């Protein structure tokens, strides 16, 4: 049987469809690990942080605004940021300065080999209310400004 030009085109089209299907399958395979991690990210949304970890290594970050205690917050070091250069006198979390009761310390709270800056705030001084879902910490380090955020879960009466 002689191949007509139209058959050739049809064959090429079939090959194109097979290739397309293969690419789509490949895309699905590649996307699978991502789609597997997405639900995890969503599930742990309340534990995510942006530079800080309220109640280090604890989740959710429950805060009882009637508590007479202190709330610990870790400013986390990373490859580009050394939390040991934080100026403690400039640290403010939800409008409150570092508590004289809790103070601050350098401690590697997330075991990544980099010292983090852990500080405590008088919970009753925090400018948060029952509708708050996140809290912000600001400070200066090395003459530069730092802003970190983490989620909060307001509990209690």
Q: Please give the residue ranges that form the binding site for Ca ion (CB under 5 A).
A: 53, 55, 58, 61, 108, 110, 112, 114, 116
| Beta carbons within 8 Å of 105's beta carbon, 6+ residues apart | 118, 119
**Identity of the residue, 14 or 147, whose beta carbon is nearer to Ca ion in the bound complex:** 147
| Among candidate residues 67, 55, 81, the one with its CA nearest the CA of residue 135 | 55
We find the least distance from the C-beta atom of residue 74 to Ca ion, in angstroms, to be 8
Chain centre to alpha carbon of residue 66: 27
Question: Nearest distance from residue 56's CB to Ca ion, in Å?
Answer: 6
Indicate the residue among 75 and 98 with the shorter CB distance to Ca ion: 75
Cα–Cα distances in angstroms (integers) from residue 154 to residues 55, 61, 72, in the given order = 13, 8, 15
Q: Please, which residue, 74 or 98, has the CB nearer to Ca ion?
A: 74
Residue 150 C-beta: closest distance to Ca ion, Å: 6
Rounded least distance, CB 62 to Ca ion, Å: 9
């Amino acid at each position: 049987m002689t191949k007509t030009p139209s058959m050739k085109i049809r064959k090429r089209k079939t090959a194109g469809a097979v290739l397309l299907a293969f690419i789509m399958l490949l895309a699905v395979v590649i996307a699978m690990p991502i789609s597997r991690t997405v639900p995890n990210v969503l599930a742990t949304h309340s534990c995510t942080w942006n530079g800080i970890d309220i109640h280090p290594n604890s989740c959710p970050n429950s805060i009882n605004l009637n508590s007479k205690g202190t709330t610990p917050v870790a400013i986390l070091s990373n490859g580009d940021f050394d939390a040991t250069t934080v100026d403690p006198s400039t640290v403010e979390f939800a409008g409150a300065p570092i508590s004289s009761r809790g103070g601050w310390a350098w401690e590697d709270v997330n075991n990544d080999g980099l010292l983090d800056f852990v500080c405590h705030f008088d919970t009753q001084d925090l400018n948060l209310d029952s509708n708050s879902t996140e809290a912000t910490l600001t400070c200066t380090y090395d003459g530069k400004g730092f802003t970190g955020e983490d989620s909060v879960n307001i509990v209690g009466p």
